[in-house]
Amino acid sequence: MKTDRTTVKVFHRCGGCGKKQEFVNSGRFRVNANGNSVDVWLIYRCKKCKHSWNLTIFERTKPKKIPRELYELFLDNDEETAYQYGNNVDFLKKNNAELR
């Protein structure tokens, strides 16, 4: 993230390191539109090797079901939105993140 704001500490098994590592909220989103559905992920990076881990926000969702303003924030990689998701414990747990 561009600011010095921190989010909840998140740990996950890193595909690059091969062991559980701390992952950091990148402040960026990945948006993929495929036909009639949209996927949106918040990108986390391993603090040690920078390997990425995408946390699912929306999966195979009809574009009309995502509020237009929110969709634009994802496309713009809005830092405040990334910060909010990075501190949402329910969202993190849903993505199998270990919190500390």
> How many distinct structural domains can be found in the chain?
1
Q: What is the pTM for the complete model shown?
A: 0.90
80-51-62 Cα angle (round to 5): 55
Residue 5 covered by a domain:
no
Residue 35 covered by a domain:
yes
What is the domain range of residue 19? 10-95
Residue 57 covered by a domain:
yes
Residue 59 covered by a domain:
yes
99 burial level (CB within 10 Å; 0-12, 13-18, 19+): exposed
Q: How far apart are CA 42 and CA 97, in angstroms?
A: 13
pLDDT in tens, 29-55: 999 998 899 999 999 999 999 999 999
Split at pLDDT 50, 70, 90, the class of 4 is very low
Residue 1 covered by a domain:
no
Whether 14 shows a pLDDT value over 60: the answer reads yes
Residue 2 covered by a domain:
no
Residue 35 is predicted with a pLDDT of 84
Residue 66 covered by a domain:
yes
Phi-psi region of 27 (alpha: psi -120 to 50; beta: other; left: phi over 0): left
